[in-house]
Amino acid sequence: MTADTDLREQVHAAARRARVAANALALLHRADKDKALLAMADALRAHAEPVLEANAADVAAGRESGMASGLLDRLTLTEARIDGIAGGLTKVANLPDPVGETVRGSTLANGLRLTQVRVPMGVVGMVYEARPNVTVDAAGLALKSGNAALLRGSSSAAHTNAALVEVLRDALTGVGLPADAVQLLPCEDRASVRHLITARGLVDLVIPRGGAGLIQSVVNEATVPTVETGVGNCHVYVDASADLDMAERLVINSKARRPSVCNSAETVLVHAEVAEKFVPSLATALRLAGVTVHADERFAALAPGVLPATDEDWDVEYLSMDIAAGVVDSLDEAIKHIARHGSGHTEAIITSDIAAANAFTTRVDSAAVMVNASTAFTDGEEFGMGAEIGISTQKQHARGPMALPELTTTKWIVWGQGHTRPA
């Protein structure tokens, strides 16, 4: 209990230091922020050595504890990867500054001049998995949008994150900015997440990136505003009118390009009218691509050798080379299936029928709805945002890929000349 109180005080103290830094960051002009971002990029390249040493310790510990090879790969840094991460900061420097952007403005009938402008959120917390690049990306995006960052990474990347943040903080100090604009929170204990998401008044926004378990605990316990990210049970629906060659390419790309990311497809639904022609060749293509199919009875009848789908298969986010597959009698049935089982991330229709495309894009209630395109395109970089801090699957505040504007709020500035409001 005392240890927990101490940890709480540590998190709160960091948040209070972050507020002081945020107050300074909010007043910076773009030139100052870009200079800092470039200094951070240079510093990372110049100090790759200690970062790689720290990373080697994390990787060794991960290997010893039996970390899965995919996770180990994401955790591992190389000189080339550090160079790429530094390049990300340079890209953020090249993006326009969201702060000060006028969202709306008008002069009222009484002469009051109104502008709604973007301003920083203030203190932004990130909770994330063992990917060291997120540490640097989040710090860079927060800084560019005028926010102080509280970073709560995975304990399995503790040494790497500590080394990275030390380099970033030194670079900030070097250009005269407060080091506390970027702080790493203790990560040994899960309780630090709880203290972060309940630090109401001290923290303005928390973005959890991680699995359904983390998201659920954040939803239940948070008193600080949060944005849910990254759970994607994405669907591809192959309509009766689909170009079936295109459909096959798009299913394979949506599923197999990078199965571990949230925009990969987890279910394919095929219209009954084309099932007989399409399912056998799709099943073959999926098998050749290394994908295990979990199919309903009608799909399985056309694709011998696939696994039977259980009830859970329609709701699970595999994040692996597995896909659920079913046959539906209509577009309407597909839309209802998606409404029942989807996570509101990304769904695609493959069709040549404009009415079907319009019905699908209008009725499917997801962050992104694709027509004749791979679900893999839901991504901040692909969408031309230049960066991404996460993909929101909630409807409040931001939906879909989040970048710099989504890390800001707005303020109404009203200029009068002694205006009083009549009774």
- Name the site residues for its own copies (rule: CB under 8 A): 23, 26-27, 106, 108, 112, 114, 116, 119, 121-122, 200, 204-205, 219-220, 223, 225, 227, 243, 246, 249-250, 253, 257-258, 357, 361-363, 365-374, 376-378, 382-384, 394-397, 399-400, 409-421, 423
Rounded CA-CA distance 213/251 in Å is: 28
Q: Is the dihedral of CA 206, 186, 82, 70 positive or negative?
A: negative
Write down the least CB distance from residue 387 to its own copies, Å.
16
Write down the least CB distance from residue 94 to its own copies, Å.
16
Sequence-distant (6+) residues with CB within 8 A of 65 are 156
Of the pair 296, 406, the CB lying nearest its own copies is at 406
What the block records as the tokens of 329 is 């009698």
Write down the least CB distance from residue 292 to its own copies, Å.
20
Tokens 């927990």 sit on residue: 4
Write down the least CB distance from residue 135 to its own copies, Å.
24
DSSP state of 205: E
Quickly count: other Cβ atoms within 10 Å of residue 71's Cβ: 16
- Residues 202/15, Cβ–Cβ less than 8 Å: yes
Pairing of strands 307-308, 292-295: parallel
Of the pair 57, 219, the CB lying nearest its own copies is at 219
Q: How many residues can be counted in the chain? A: 423
Of the pair 2, 220, the CB lying nearest its own copies is at 220
Write down the least CB distance from residue 366 to its own copies, Å.
7
Rounded CA-CA distance 237/407 in Å is: 33
Of the pair 62, 400, the CB lying nearest its own copies is at 400
Sequence-distant (6+) residues with CB within 8 A of 207 are 124, 125, 126, 127, 226, 227, 229, 389, 390, 402
- Residues 46/230, Cβ–Cβ less than 8 Å: no
Write down the least CB distance from residue 116 to its own copies, Å.
8
Of the pair 139, 357, the CB lying nearest its own copies is at 357
Of the pair 54, 222, the CB lying nearest its own copies is at 222
Write down the least CB distance from residue 37 to its own copies, Å.
22
Tokens 């710099």 sit on residue: 404
Of the pair 4, 365, the CB lying nearest its own copies is at 365
Of the pair 216, 284, the CB lying nearest its own copies is at 216
Q: State the amino acid at position 43 in one-letter form.
A: A
Write down the least CB distance from residue 112 to its own copies, Å.
6
The b-or-e profile of 308-319 (16+ CB within 10 A means b, else e) is ebeeebbebbbb
- Residues 389/137, Cβ–Cβ less than 8 Å: yes
What the block records as the tokens of 407 is 């890390």
